[in-house]
Chains A and B, each alone.
Chain A
Amino acid sequence: MPGALLNEQQIFARLADPDPRRRITVTPLFDVRQQFGPSSLDLRLGCDFLVFRTSGITHLDPLRSPAEIARDLARYTQAVEIGPGEAFVLHPGEFALASTLEYIVLPGDIAARLEGRSTWGRLGLEVHATAGFVDPGFAGTLTFELYNAGKAPLSLFAGVRIGQLCFFELTEPSALPYREKTFSKYAAAVGTVGSKYYRDPEYEVLRRRLPAGRRSPEGG
C-alpha cells in the first residue's frame, strides 16, 4: 500500500478540514470515543441487505444481453431492509451484501482500506470477500460482503460497528478520481448495490465476438 497511513489526529484533521478538496467526509459520525482507533475509524452496519436465492436461476451467464442479466440478477437477489433495533440474521455459510451506515467521500489524495474488526472476526464474520480497497475520490456508502464463517447464526443490527477504515495519503493526488464531480451526484450509491459485472467492457467484446452456440459449456 503506497503512501502514509494516517493516525487518529491526521484523520481528525482531514475530517475537520475546511477545504473541501482535502476533506474526508464520513457521516453520520457519532460516539467518536468508540469509533476512532489509533490509525483507523470504525464503520457501522447500514440498514439494507441483498440476500441470494438460487431457486429461480441455473447459473449467471455474463454473455446474455445486459437486460436479460439484469432480470436474472433481480431473480437472484432479494432486498431486505431493517430499521433501528431490528436484526438481520446471517446463518453459518451464508453470504449477503450490505452497506455502511455512513456516507463517505474521499478527496483525490486519500485512498482507504476496509477491514473487519477482530471482535466480529472472532465470531467468524467476514466483512469483505475481495474488495476492501477504496479509491481516491470515492463517494457513497461502502459495500460489505458479509460471510458467516462461524458455526452459529449471527444477529446483526444497523448501527453496530463491524468494520474499520484505514486511510492512506498519496504522495500526489490522483489524476483519475473515482467519481467525476459533474451533477450526477446521486449516481453515488446510498445503499447496497449488487454486482454489475456484466457491464465490464470485456463482456461486450465477448458477446460481440463469440457465436451464440459457443457461449456456454453446453454449446461446446
Chain B
Amino acid sequence: MGDPVALARGVAVARAARLGRQLTTCEEEDPAWRAAAGHLVRRLRNLAAEALREGGPGADIFRRLREIRALTGDLRGSVAWRPLRRFLEEVLGAEINGVVLAPAWRGTGWGHLCLGTGEEAPALLYFDGAEAENPLMWPLAVRECLALRERRGDGTGADAATARLLGPALFAAYVEAYCHASDDGTRALLQERLAAVRTALAGRGTPARFISPWEELLFAAGGTLSHGGPQVEEDGAGFGPGDLQVAEGLLPRLAEGIFIAARPGILFRREGPQAAPCEDVYDRLRAVEEIPNTPAQIVNAGWLYYTLELLPRLAFLDFDRAAAEVAAFDALLSKSLLVAAVHRFFTGGETPCRERF
C-alpha cells in the first residue's frame, strides 16, 4: 500500500520542515539568530524542492539534511522537553527519576549515557532536537529508557519490550531514524534493532500492512532486514491487534484535524446513539461519553495517518505550506496525548500500558 519514493519524499520534506521550525524557535528566542536561521531555512527550502524532483530524494538530500541537523544540534535554542518526559512516564508507568533529558548534539540522534555505575546511577537521555515536538519519534526515547532501566547491554531486550508497549510505531520510528542517521555505524546498529523489532511484532500478530510501507522505505534507502533471532513467547498482553483497530478508527478524526484523545465509549458502540430512551435521562446521555485513548493508540494512529495521508501529500505543497501542515499535525498529536492524560487523570480510564508492562 506504500510507495517508497513518495514516502521518502515526504520524509525528506517533513525533516526539512521540522529543522526549519527548530531554527525559527531559535530566532524567536534570540534575534542574533536571524541571519543564521534565515540562511539555513533557505537551504532547507532548496533541499525540500530537490527532494520532490523526479525519482525522489537521493542519498545526497538526506546527507545535506544531516549537515544542517549537525549545525542545529550545536546551535539550538531551548527545547520544550516536558511533553516528551510526560509521554515517557505515561508509557512506562513510573516517574523517570535521575534521568535528564537533553537535545542531542552534532550528528548524534537518540541514545543515553550513564553518568555513573550501578542501578541508581543518574543518566542522560538525549534526543534529536528537531524531533522534540514530534511524538511519532518518541518511541525511540521509550526504548532508551527501557535500555537504561533494564541494563540489557546491546538493548535487544529493550527493543522487544518497547514493541510490546508501542507496537509498530517503534518500527516506523526506527526506519525514519535510519533515513536521518549520520554514519554507517549508526545505520548498522539501527538495522539490527529493526530486525529485533520486526521479530517481536511478528510474534504479536501484527498485520503486515502496518509494517510493510516502512519496510519498503528501508529497502529503498539501502537498508536490509536480517532475521531478528528467535521469537519470544508472548502472553498476549501489551499492544496488540485490538489497539491497532482502535488506531485505525481514529483516522477520520485526524483527517478532520480533531483531537484523537478519546473515542466513543462502550455504551455508544453497543447500543448506538439512538438507543431506546432510558428512564434515567443521565443514563441516556451517557451514550455520548468517551473513553481516553492510550498513548500507544494515539501514536500508532499518528503513524498510520502520516504514512497514508500526510507524507504523500507533502510532495504537492510548497515548502511553507508543507511546514505548516507538519507543524499542525505534530501539535495535534501532542495535544491529543496531553488531553488524554488529563482525561485519564480524572476517570482512571483505560490503562496507558503501565499495568501491562
Residues of A within 8 A of B (CB): 8-9, 12, 15-18, 25, 27-33, 36, 44, 46-47, 71, 74, 81, 83-85, 101-103, 105, 139, 158-159, 183, 185-188, 190-191
Contacts and interface: CB of A to CB of B under 8 A. Distances in A.
B331 A191 contact: yes
27 contacts: A12-B285, A16-B268, A17-B273, A18-B273, A27-B253, A27-B261, A28-B262, A29-B262, A30-B347, A31-B289, A32-B285, A32-B286, A33-B282, A36-B285, A47-B335, A83-B342, A84-B341, A84-B342, A84-B344, A158-B342, A159-B343, A185-B256, A185-B257, A186-B325, A186-B329, A187-B257, A190-B331
B256 A16 contact: no
Contacts of B338: 47, 81, 83
B278 to A, nearest CB: 12
A47 B331 CA distance: 13
Nearest to B31: A71
B23 to A, nearest CB: 15
B126 to A, nearest CB: 22
Interface of B: 28, 31, 80, 82-83, 86, 253, 255-259, 261-262, 268, 273-274, 281-282, 284-292, 313, 324-325, 328-329, 331-332, 335, 338-347
Given A27-B261, A32-B289, A186-B329, A159 B346 contact: yes
A49 to B, nearest CB: 13
A103 B258 contact: yes
B341 A29 contact: no
A198 B255 CA distance: 30
Contacts of B31: 71
Contact of B288 (A29, A46, A47, A101): A29
Contacts of B288: 12, 15-16, 29, 32
Given A18-B273, A105-B258, 17 more contacts: A12-B288, A16-B268, A27-B253, A27-B290, A31-B346, A33-B285, A44-B342, A83-B86, A83-B341, A103-B258, A105-B256, A139-B256, A139-B257, A159-B345, A185-B257, A190-B257, A191-B331
